[in-house]
Structures are given as C-alpha cells and as structure tokens.
Chains A and B, each alone.
Chain A
Amino acid sequence: MTLRGIHPVPFPIEESRELVHQMLRIRRFEEACAEWYGLQKIRGFLHLYIGEEAVATGVIHELAPDDAIVATYREHGHALVRGVPAKALMAEMFGRSTGCSRGRGGSMHLFDAERRFYGGNAIVAGGLPVAVGLGLADRMLARPRVTACFFGEGAVAEGAFHEAMNLAALWQLPVLFCCENNGYAMGTALARSQSQTDLCARAASYGMPARAVDGMDIVAVTLAAREAAAQVRNGAGPAFLEFQTYRFRAHSMFDPELYRERAEVELWRERGPLHTFTDRLKAEKVFSEADFQRIDAEVADEIRAALEFADTSPLEPVEDLLRDVHTPQASA
C-alpha cells in the first residue's frame, strides 16, 4: 500500500523542493532533447525517462558523493541528479567535444569519473557485473561505499543479471540493485517474456532482501532507498529494490508504440510522479503554484543555457579520431 495521501510528506520542505527541482530538471531536459532531436541536432538512439523521474531522483538523493552509480542507456536523469552539469550532458547529446564523454558516447554513454558515474551501458544487464566488481573493490579496500546499479526489468531475462546477483550475494558485496520496472522490455510486456513476473521473488532466491516500491511516488522511493542504502553501507550485503514505474514516451525516437493502448498510458500519466508530489505538497499547504513556477523558471534558464552551450560548442577535430582507445603512457 502506498503512503501517498495517507501520511504527510515526511521531509523538511527544503528537501521536498529539491526533489521537485530534480524531477523537473529531468522532465525539462528531456523535453528539450526530444525537441532538438526533431531539429536533427541530436541523433542516434534517444531513450527518454519521462514518467520515471522519481526513481533516479529518489535513489540518488540518498547516495553519498563517493558512492558509485552504474546506469543504462536511459540515464539522462541519473546523470543530471548526480550533478553532471546539464551543459556537459547536452553537449554530449549534440556530439560536441565539450560533452561529458567528449562526444564519443552520446545519449547512451554518459560518464563522469569525478562523480563516480560509470555510465551509460547500452547492453541490457551489461552494467550489473561491473557494479559487482565496483562493490568487490570497495569491500576489499574496506571503503564504506554503496554502488547503485540501475537496470530495467528486461535485464532480468539476461544471464548477466543472474550471474551478477549470485556473485553479489555469494561475496556479500555492497551493491544496491535498482530495478526500474516500466513494464516493457522495448515493446515486450513483462508477462509476455517472463515465466515468473514477481521480480522480487527472483532476487530473493539469491538470498538478498528484495522489496517492491511504488516508483511513481517520490516519497516511497526515497524512503526505500534510504533504508536499503544504509543496510548495504553497513555491510549487510546487497539489496534489491523493484521500482514499479512507467515510461510515458516511446521506447526510443524510432518506436511507433504498437504494443500498448493509449488508455494504459493515460492511466499511468495520472499517477505521474511530478504532479502527484506537487499536488500533495500543495494540499499540505507547504508549497504553492508560485513556488512551482519559480522552480520551473529556474530550470528553464538552466536548460536554455545548456542548449546554447551545446549548440555553440566545437566539434572535436577529426585528427583526434584515434585518441582514448588506450591510456597514454609516459614510456610509450
């Protein structure tokens, strides 16, 4: 059962504002991406996170600066909330040398070493084994850190998911597995691809705590992540959270959405994480429409500046094509 509407939002108002701010940054950033995709300034695959903002926002809000994040190809939101500057992200979308991956990665491969943001993996479930290794390093070097690993429910069908879950549990590694269950692996619904649709049951079979969370409710996400991250950090081994969420937009810009009904999308839109949370704050009279407008204007300024920066940034010279295949070495 959801906490929504039953209990007051259990956060100080500044924290609530910050959660609204971050969710809105993701929403507006991605709306701009879709628009500039139409203008052909952004190309390749573009996977939008709109509708799922509460998951990245709530989980990453609970991480410490030296924790690590491993994400998927639908990771704009995670990078933004982690603090990768919107300018560097937008420049990456535009393929410019000022991008967070120097224009080598694009939408699916956002990275930031300083913020321990390990990308941007476009192979479904490809990030899970890497997260296990990051956890292993923390465990062996006795660092009280958490590696948060995000992946969609489609990843549960991959062998890498099961191998990684087993290793993390077997070696008791500090990994927080965050399953973003948006119901569809591209266009294939969970029930059409999995014999066991209870994802927590599958995680629990590896001997780790597993919990399903309303991924449309930022309060529920944040509280669940807070509790789980603390356990993982304290050496309790890995944990699994299933965030039940929904993507409002198509899978990518190439997706005609033949596999789901408009009514279903509308139903989930009513549960949208941004307006349900702001409505709740308004009902509690701690937040007003003017507050929302102020935050929205601030975000609009940020996105405008990011677009301007991206659009005026230089392309990398073709002479540099072969850089960054190997690490430069003094002796080489």
Chain B
Amino acid sequence: MSTTSAREALHDALREALTNDSRVLLIGEDVGRYGGSYAVSKSLLTEFGPQRIRDAPLSELGFTGAGVGAALGGLRPIIEIMTVNFSLLALDQLVNTAATLRHMSGGQFSVPLVVRMATGAGRQLAAQHSHSFDGWFAHIPGLKVLTPGTVTDARYMLGIALADPDPVILLEHAQFYSETGTIGAPPTPDEAWRAATRRVGRDLTLIAWGGMLSRALAAAQRLAAEGIEAEVLDLRSLRPLDNERLIESVRRTRRAVVVDESWRTGSFAAEISARIMEGALYELDAPVLRVCSAEVPMPYAAHLEVAATPQIENIVAAARSVVHGGSA
C-alpha cells in the first residue's frame, strides 16, 4: 500500500467535493493562483475555475460572513481561513451569526458552512502565528468541530463536514500536513462523529486529537518499551464530544492523561478532565493529568518553543506519573 501525506489527502477530499457537487465552492486567501498557503488547493483553480475557487481579499470577517450567506442561499461553501490566528478577525460571523442563526430564527434556517483552518505551533512563527483555540470553538453551541489527526480522517472528514447541515469547523494542524500514512476505509455514518481508539492499552488512556495525536502515539510506543501499555483515544470531534467512549476507556484503564496544545487554563483538556471527574471519578486510581502549552505567548527561539509546547517526553513523564505515582 502506498503512503499519502495529509496534505494530499485533504487536496483529494477537496477535489472530490468539487467534482461531486456543483454547489461546492472554496473561498479563501490565496486558495487559487497561489495554490493555498499550505498547498492544499494546488491546481484546483485550473480545474474548477475562478468562480468556484475564489481568491478572497484579506477580509476574514467579510468572506466568512459571505460563506454564511452563500450557505443560506443554497451553495455549499468551504471557507479557508489561512490560519486559526486570523480566525480571530472572523469570530463575530462564526459565533454571532453562523452558530446562532438556526436557533434565533426558531429553526427556520440551516447554515451548511464548512470552515477549514490551519492551527497550532511548531514552526518558529512566534506569538501571533502559533495559536491553538480548539476549546474556544468547541465552547460554542451551534458549531461543530472536527480535528483530523490521521490521513484517513484528512481524506474523509471534509466529506463528513459537507454532509452536515450545520456549520462545521475543521482544525488542521500545520505540522499535520506533512504527516504520511495509508488511507483506510471511510468512516461509516455511525462512526463519523465518534472518538476512535488508535491503540489499545490497559494501564492508562492518553486522550488526544488533531496535531497532538501523533505525539500521543509516539509516547505510547516509548511507554510500551518500559512495560506501560497506554490506550490512545483520538477524540476526532470536539463538538459533539463522544463522552461515551471517553468514559468507557478511562473506567477500564483507571488512569488518564489529556494532551492539548492550548494553554492549560480554560483549555479543552480542562473540559475533558471535568467530564472524567463527572463520569469516572470512583474508578480512577490517580488524578487526571494534562499536558498543555506553557502559559506564555509563543516565543520565537526554537528551544523555547519546544519547551512551551507538549512534547513526547512530557507525555511520557505524565503517563509514568499517573501509573507509578509521583509528580509529572
């Protein structure tokens, strides 16, 4: 079986969506001539033309809102916000319009909008280009949040998002684009929004998603060498959240470590930790630990960026701590 990069998988997903549904269009900065700032939409302009591959001005608020309107008008727009950092400029349309329209109209309108954005740190882009706001988006009722962490999900999550009648945000980790793997079968409809067990283990559950999944898996491999069998649960969707599989896994392994690239305070990892407390407190053999980013704007210098973000060794240390006791 040949391997594919997540970038290629996302590209193929876009191409398939554009081919199969004439209502689909892609709007974003540099998605056309430039080919996408992460090259995901490369060559699509030539194939589908400027009506459907729309280079947008640097107006995140404007073109995200236009996506809302286009969805209301019968199209199936895919909005590419170059990075999550710039999504801050579009939050009003996402939070005040896309997420609320169905409810505040008493159920009259659906907003079938898909918003893709690159997220995360790791390329020395410093304090304004390294954000992780996964938990912010997952906080909003009316939005759904998908976080591909495998090439199979990179290939099929766009289709899941487009098939949904409500606004869906796809968070694609910037370092994930270059990860490679073999594309498996598409998720069945029942599995589309559910968490997936990426590794079975008996000693603890590592909970991760998106860009942190590969690090959790690498940590599990190292832990296995020292006799600790970690289960790795890939949340895949942050809203809706698969509470059932989360609690089932932690009840079985009795220990949990959550890996989240966001800052610890108010992070999505905090939500996961609270869910475990609510659903599995009496089965726990150790406090839930979180491996998150340090509480500092992202520094430029490489060694400091590494120190600020969750690394494989931090995950391993936290896992050892919950299994053997002692501090992480």
Contact = CB atoms under 8 A, between A and B. Distances in A.
B105 A132 contact: no
Nearest to A108: B104
A103 to B, nearest CB: 7
B75 A141 contact: yes
B142 A325 contact: yes
A133 B65 contact: yes
Given A111-B105, A140-B51, A327-B110, A118 B72 contact: yes
Contacts of B105: 101, 104-105, 109, 111, 113, 119-120, 324
B61 interface: yes
Interface string A170-185: 1100000000000000
Contacts of B164: 329
With most chain B CB atoms within 10 A of its CB, the pick from A160, A325, A331 is A325
Nearest to A331: B189
A324 B103 contact: yes
Contact of B106 (A101, A132, A159): A101
Contact of A129 (B68, B77, B103): B68
Contact of A136 (B69, B92, B97, B166): B69
B103 A104 contact: yes
A163 B62 contact: yes
B109 interface: yes
Interface in A280-332: 323-327, 329, 331
Contacts of B74: 137, 141
Contacts of B66: 129-130, 132-133, 136, 164, 167
A137 B104 contact: no
B107 A129 contact: no
A140 to B, nearest CB: 6
A135 interface: yes
B268 to A, nearest CB: 19
A167 B165 CA distance: 25
Contacts of B106: 99-105, 111, 324
For chain B, give the interface size range: 35 or more
A203 interface: no
A283 B293 CA distance: 76
Interface string B40-76: 0000000000010010110101111111111111110
B141 interface: yes
B62 A130 contact: no
Contact of A132 (B65, B75, B104, B166): B65
Nearest to B70: A133
B93 interface: yes
Contacts of B57: 163, 166-167, 170
A160 B189 CA distance: 38
A130 B97 contact: yes
Contact of A133 (B51, B67, B102): B67
Interface string B131-147: 00000000001101000
A121 interface: yes
Interface string A88-121: 0000000000011111110001011100001111
A62 interface: no
Contacts of B166: 326-327
Interface in B87-125: 92-93, 96-97, 101-110
Contacts of B189: 331
Interface of A: 68, 70, 99-105, 109, 111-113, 118-121, 123, 126, 128-138, 140-141, 147, 159-160, 163-164, 166-167, 170-171, 323-327, 329, 331
23 contacts: A105-B104, A109-B104, A111-B108, A126-B93, A128-B65, A129-B63, A129-B65, A130-B69, A133-B66, A133-B68, A136-B69, A137-B69, A137-B70, A137-B75, A141-B75, A160-B65, A163-B57, A167-B57, A167-B59, A324-B102, A324-B105, A326-B144, A326-B166
Given A111-B105, A130-B72, A140-B25, 8 more contacts: A111-B109, A129-B62, A130-B69, A133-B69, A134-B72, A136-B66, A136-B69, A324-B103
Nearest 8 pairs of A and B residues by beta carbon:
A133-B69, A129-B65, A137-B73, A163-B62, A102-B106, A111-B105, A163-B59, A324-B107
